[in-house]
Structures are given as structure tokens and as C-alpha cells.
Chain A
Amino acid sequence: MPSNLLKRIKVSLWGGLFFCLTTFASDWRDPQWLRLLHYNQSLTGNYLSETDGMAFFLHPRGKISPSKELKTFIYKLTETTTDPNDHVYCRFPARWRWYKARYPEATDPKLECPKLNAFRKRLDAHSVAMVFSSYYLNNPSSSFGHTFLRFGRSPESVLSGSTPTELLDTGINYGAVTGDAGPLIYTIGGLAGWFPGTFNAIPYYYKVREYNDYETRDLWSYQLNVTKSELDFMVDHIWELGHTHFDYYFLTENCSYHMLTILEAAKPEVDLLKHLPYLYTIPSDTLKALEKEGLVGKVSFRPAPSTLFDHLIKQTTPEERKIVSKLFHRPELKVDLPDDRKALVYDAAISLVDFKLAKEIMKEEEGAQKLKRPLLLARSKIPQRSEEPDFTYKLPSAPHYGHGSKRLMIGSVNENDKWGTDLNWRFAFHDLLDNEVAYPHRSRLEVGHIGIRTFGNNVQVRDVSFVDIMNLGKLDSFNQSASWKIRLGHWQTRLEQRDYSTQGFKGGYGYSYHWEKVTPYLLAHVEGSYVSEAFRKMKLAYGADVGLLVDFNEAWKMNSVLECRAYPWTESRVINELRYANEAFGSGLYFNDYLENGDREFGLRFYWYL
């Protein structure tokens, strides 16, 4: 009897060992295992996990060894523990799912996992959506937008995407913990990966209040096509990631990047990252990747107060608009209109306060409340209830429909009767004359721009921008936001019919008026630069830009600007540029006249948006 038992134990031991060995031999190469542990393979074949919190690995060398990590995981499954929450089965439920799916015969530790179950219960996930918070040019880290996941709690969300009660859904956000870092440390640290990036699970309404209300950004929800088991897998994997951290890199391993890695871990058959550039991850590009892999279901839109205001004010008459303006300053004003019109006027006035005093309202400042409370009270006394605004007309300009953010330009240029070639590359992202669908209108945000010009054998790097931003803010009866521009890089300074290579910064500040198709603007200009050869020292110049941007439609655009500069000498030139651009291709003409000496440059340009 005892020998029989011993034999049995021996057999099962050998069996177990054999089982482990065979698993160990092949399975650690499984793409899903590698994704679960966030391994990358270098060119020399070595593995390195992007995860930087060491508790994420069970083996001391787990960060670099998928095989050791798997072996340890399998071994630890058999361990007993006093607190089940600490058991690998409860700490790494997605790994267990993966393992069990490959080896249905593997023994289930069958532990209760109180903390994990509470987390699952809190999410109560029936669906998942990728939420895109739109471009926010006033904050450098958000100018390209932001993405996070929303786990839908309501069973109806599986079919309908957005639901009225989605506010109670859970948002899963990945962000850098920067503490009180100043702007400089923030930027350098962000680029160099100094800050830990962590996952954060909070009710979606916090995200709505933050992005919609506080920062007045539109929110787009992209319902994702995943099965129930993939959904559960994602939730479990997020649980694993919630207890560790990654080094946060603004350009590459950023918020949007890790949203994709979670999805990839749960859906081994899709490859989302291959659609992204190697050097950086732009949130809207990740949406395009989701679309290309067929993961996008219903898309829905949640407007910022400014968008709601635009929507409402369009329905008012000029007379009613005046009342809205007045209400903003005198909320107690008596309004004499039929009920339905009165309701519209008050709704517009309320959303005007909401977006113009967004930050003050969120900070519960008295001034903002004194303005808004009487409006709300008066509104509540109008019997008419507001209708739910219909924003389906926004859907054709959803962020994934935008043009490719990388751009190649090849052009032919004529400079004082000499013909040459322009070659130009932009890493990201948009300029004033690019197709405007899904991009912030009347703005330029270019990062990494290089321009080369050749005349015969003479090749010259004429143009390099690290950043080149221009934002024509809205100035009308309801908006008084300023326009500004900033550029950092290398360019040419013209003096006595010669170009001198120049490095420095340019900035500008002013105003622009927004008609529907025509935008005149005026900016004061300042630049500090080092002009090589000519001076060999820093020069400060100032001047002005007087411009006119014409939007014939979303694809045809023209920009004419007179630039006046006072270096120690004066220089003024007129630049005219006309362009047609769709989401993939563009072509255009430009003329550049130097007024002082009659120099002239013109050219024909072709653009490819990639």
C-alpha cells in the first residue's frame, strides 16, 4: 500500500516535471505570453520587458527572461499561501487564463480572490470603448489628444456603445506621476522616461468632468469589438498592471501606447503596434490602428461646453444672440420671448458661462457662481424642457478620419529665374492648409520638420523646426481668445539678396477674427536668433504679421500673409499659398515676394500624407 502510494507520487512527480519541461521548452515563445509580460525583442534576439515595477516579475531575472518567468509562474501555481490575495493565481489572473486555455488539464488552484473579485465587480464590464479626448493646444502634453479605456457597465452598452448612464462606467487611464515637477523637469523627464507611469481606475464621470468640463475638450468613444472572454481577459490584465509601473515616455510609451498593449494582450491575433511609427505614438494614430484592425464598432460623441454652445447659438436669431451676450453680463435681465425661444437663449447663455468660466466653475469660485446660479434659476422656471442635442453630424469628422500626420513634400521652386527642387519631411502633425477634417481648425502644430533645397549640385538644409505651433484663437462677440505662434529651429535670413543660415526662436501674439470661411489675423512678432556668417552674435528682431486665411472648403485653402521685420535693417515679404489637400494627397502653389529688393520665389508643391 505505501509503496503503491509512493509509486503514484513518483509517477505524478515525473509527470508534472515532464509537463513543466515541455511547457518550458516551447510555450514561453507564445506571442500572447510575451505580450502579457510586455516583452520586446531586440535585433540580437534578447528580450526586455517594458514593465519597470519589479513585483510584476516572479523570477528575479523575469524582466529579461520570458522562459524563467513562465517556469516560475507554473511552479508558483502549486504553492500554498495564507492570504489568497498574494497568490499568483489572484495576482496574475490573465496569466492564469492564458495558461489554462493552452493546458485545459492544468490543475486549477481554485482560490477565492477577494480583492481581484472586488475589482471585477466594480468594473462589472459588459463592453469596452477607447475614449479619445480631443486636442488641447494650451497644454503641451495634451496637444495631440489623449486616450483611455472606458469599461461599460450597462448590458445595453454592448450594442449601443454609449448609454445615458455611462457616467458610472470605469475609466482606465495611464499617466505619468509627475508630482510637482516644474515645466522644465516635466519636459525633460517626460522625454527621458524619469517619471513612473501608472494605471488608474476611476469612475468615468471624473474623466468627463476633467476633460469635457474643466478643459473644454470633446470626448469621442470608440466601442471596441471584443468577445466577452477577451473583455474579461483585459480586465484581469489591467488588474495585473494596476500594481506595477512603467517608465513613462511622452513620445513613445505613453498613454495611448499602453492602451493598445492591453488590447493586444487580450487579442493575440491583432497587431496594432505595427501601424504606428517607430519613434512616437500619436493618440489619433492609435485610433486609426484600431480601425485598420477592424476593432472599431459604434463611435459616439460627448460635446465640450464650447461645442454645445456653438450648436445652440447656430439656432438663434441675431436678436436672440444679443440677449445671450447680455445675459452673460447681467444674468438677472428680464427676457421677453416665447417659452421655446427663451429656453434656447438661456441654454446658450448657460453653456457660454460653462465654457468661458470653465476653470472658475470647477474651482467653485464665487464670481462664476453669481453669474450662473441666476441663469439656472430662471431657466428652471421656463416650462419647456431642453431636448437632447443631436450631434450625429459630428461623426464624419471623428478623429480617425483625419489625414496622415506624417507628410512628405516634393516641390519645384523658382528663385529669381533659377529652378531648383524642394524636399521636405514632417514627422507630425498638421498645418493651416492641410485638410481640416478631424483636426483642430485654424492651427498649426508641427513637430520635427526638415526642409532641403537643391540647385544643381548645391544642397542646402534650409529649414528645421523642432516645434512650430500657431493657433488662431477665436475673436467674435462671444470669444476673446488670443492667437499665438512659436517656432524653435533653423531657417534662413535674407539680407542683400542672400540667405544666411539662422538658428533661434520666433514667437508671436495677437488676434484673429473668425468668419465662417475667412479668417483675418494680426500678430506681433519677435525673434531671437543667431545669424551665422553675417553677424556671429545673437540678434533680437521684432515685427508683425498681417494675414488672411481663406477656407474655401475643408480641402481647398489659401493663406496670404505680409511679414514685416525690423532687424537692424527692414525686411518685408508677402507669402501667398494655395493648397488642395485630401486625407492622403495634396498639391499647391506658392509665391514669395520680397518687397524691398524685388526678389521673387515661386513654386509648385506636392504632398503625401502618410
Chain B
Amino acid sequence: MKALFVIAALSLSSLAFASKPYGMAGCGMGSQLMGKEGNQVLAATTNGTSGTQTFGISSGTSNCVTATEQTARIKNFIEANYESLITDMSKGQGDSLKTLSGFYGCNAETFSAEMKNNYAEITPAKNDATKVMVNINKVIEDNKALNTNCTHAI
């Protein structure tokens, strides 16, 4: 009985992997955990992804080969924390925003303030992590304060 469950669970999730190896972002752990529902948070946390798989993924077998790891990590973070992140941006405060600032190596205060100032330009009409990232990169590039301040800008 028990063994049956394990096998069932494993084969179910490997099916999911086979049919959709790349998520919307196409990269990173989030996309690997992406389920059919489309929301990777739910897929990652509630669809019973087995431990062996997440432990397996951890061991450096990323499906990202084309993009740089930095880009992949940022894109994935934006995707997984999308709602929280844009909420933080509108307020100019919050942990998701501070964390994102860390990825770019920016001063969190300056970064948070500038993301708020440029909220309208950064957020697209429809949820799109890639667009948000591209827009943030552009804001950093065009903004004097950030341009000199962010050490890991891409």
C-alpha cells in the first residue's frame, strides 16, 4: 500500500516534469517546480513535490543553460514573489523589495525609494516577471543614484 503511494506520487510528479519542463520564466528552481495551475507558489508548496526531487534539484542540476545565473535568480525571485514585490514597490518599503535590492547590490533605501518613484513604468498591465525585471534594469541604468550605487546591476 505504502510503496504504491510512493510510486504513484513519484510518477505523477515526473509526468508533470515531462510535460512542462520549463515554466513561464524558463529558468531556475521556481520554473522547475511550476505546476499545471500556473502559479508556482502553489505548485511548490501544496502539490506534494517529493523531498527527493527538491533535494535532487538542489544539487546543481538546473535547467538553465542560456541565461546567466544572476538573471535567472532575479527573474525567479520576482516571479515567485510577484504580488508581494509590487505591493512593496508601491509603498517603497518591505522585505521583498529589500531582498531584491540585495540581488542588485544596491543600497536598500535608495533602491526602495526609486522603485516607488518608477512604479508606473516598472509594472506591466498583466503580470509578467520578465517585463518587470527588464524595466527594473532600465530604471537602474537610467537613474544616476542607482547607477553608481548598485554593484551587481545587470
Contact = CB atoms under 8 A, between A and B. Distances in A.
Interface stretch (A10-18, A196-204, A495-503): A196-204
A383 to B, nearest CB: 9
Contact of A362 (B2, B41, B93, B123): B41
Interface stretch (A331-339, A374-382, A594-602): A374-382
Given A205-B80, A362-B83, A52 B2 contact: yes
Contact of B92 (A210, A245, A375, A386): A386
A385 B92 contact: yes
Contact of A177 (B33, B50, B113): B50
Q: How large, as a class, is the contact surface on chain B? A: 35 or more
B109 to A, nearest CB: 9
Contacts of A196: 2, 5-6, 9
Interface string A239-265: 100110101000000000000000000
A213 B59 CA distance: 29
Given A164-B98, A167-B99, A179-B48, A380 B60 contact: no
Contact of A179 (B5, B45, B59, B123): B5
A350 B5 contact: no
A206 B59 contact: no
B54 to A, nearest CB: 5
A388 B83 CA distance: 18
A243 B55 contact: yes
A209 B84 contact: yes
Contacts of B89: 376, 380
Given A196-B9, A201-B58, A167 B120 contact: no
A385 B91 contact: yes
A168 interface: yes
A187 interface: no
A167 B96 contact: yes
A164 B112 CA distance: 13
A207 B42 CA distance: 10
Nearest to A121: B60
Interface in B126-152: 127
A227 interface: no
Interface in A35-68: 52
Contact of B55 (A119, A208, A363, A385): A119
B38 A385 contact: no
Nearest to B52: A243
A166 B5 CA distance: 34
B18 interface: no
Interface in B33-63: 33, 37-39, 41-42, 44-46, 48-52, 54-55, 58-60
A144 interface: no
B106 interface: no
A387 B93 contact: yes
Contacts of B86: 376
A282 to B, nearest CB: 22
A206 B80 contact: yes
A247 B12 contact: no
Contacts of B41: 206, 209-210, 214, 362
Contact of A376 (B87, B113, B117): B87
A330 B33 CA distance: 36
B116 interface: yes
Contacts of A115: 59-60
Interface in B59-118: 59-60, 77, 80-81, 83-84, 86-87, 89-96, 98-99, 102, 108, 112-113, 116-117
Interface string A348-388: 00100010000001111000010001011101110001111
B49 A200 contact: yes
B58 A379 contact: no
B153 interface: no
Contacts of B12: 179
A209 B81 contact: yes
B80 A177 contact: no
A111 interface: no
Contacts of B108: 164
Given A165-B102, A200-B54, A245-B6, A205 B119 contact: no
A122 B113 contact: no
B42 to A, nearest CB: 7
A590 interface: no
A429 interface: no
B44 A198 contact: no
B51 A245 contact: yes
A177 B84 contact: no
A587 interface: no
Interface in A56-109: none
Nearest to B8: A179
B24 to A, nearest CB: 11
Nearest to B117: A380
Contacts of B59: 114-115, 118-119
Contacts of A119: 55, 58-59
B29 interface: yes
A178 interface: yes
B49 to A, nearest CB: 7
B18 to A, nearest CB: 17
A562 B123 CA distance: 55
> By CB atoms of chain A within 10 A, which of B5, B33, B38, B54 has the most?
B5
B15 interface: no
B55 A118 contact: no
A608 interface: no
A348 to B, nearest CB: 11
A200 B53 CA distance: 8
B1 to A, nearest CB: 6
B44 A202 contact: yes
Interface in A181-217: 194-196, 198-203, 205-210, 213-214
Interface of B: 1-2, 5-6, 8-9, 12, 29, 33, 37-39, 41-42, 44-46, 48-52, 54-55, 58-60, 77, 80-81, 83-84, 86-87, 89-96, 98-99, 102, 108, 112-113, 116-117, 119-120, 123, 127
Interface of A: 52, 114-115, 118-119, 122, 164-168, 175-179, 194-196, 198-203, 205-210, 213-214, 239, 242-243, 245, 247, 343, 347, 350, 354, 361-364, 369, 373, 375-377, 379-381, 385-388
14 contacts: A52-B2, A119-B58, A167-B96, A202-B45, A206-B44, A214-B41, A214-B42, A239-B55, A242-B54, A347-B91, A364-B127, A376-B89, A377-B119, A380-B90
Given A361-B83, A362-B83, A380-B92, 10 more contacts: A115-B59, A118-B59, A165-B102, A196-B2, A207-B45, A243-B52, A354-B83, A362-B42, A376-B123, A380-B91
Across the A-B interface, the 9 shortest Cβ-Cβ residue pairs: A198-B51, A380-B119, A385-B92, A242-B55, A115-B59, A376-B90, A386-B91, A210-B45, A164-B98
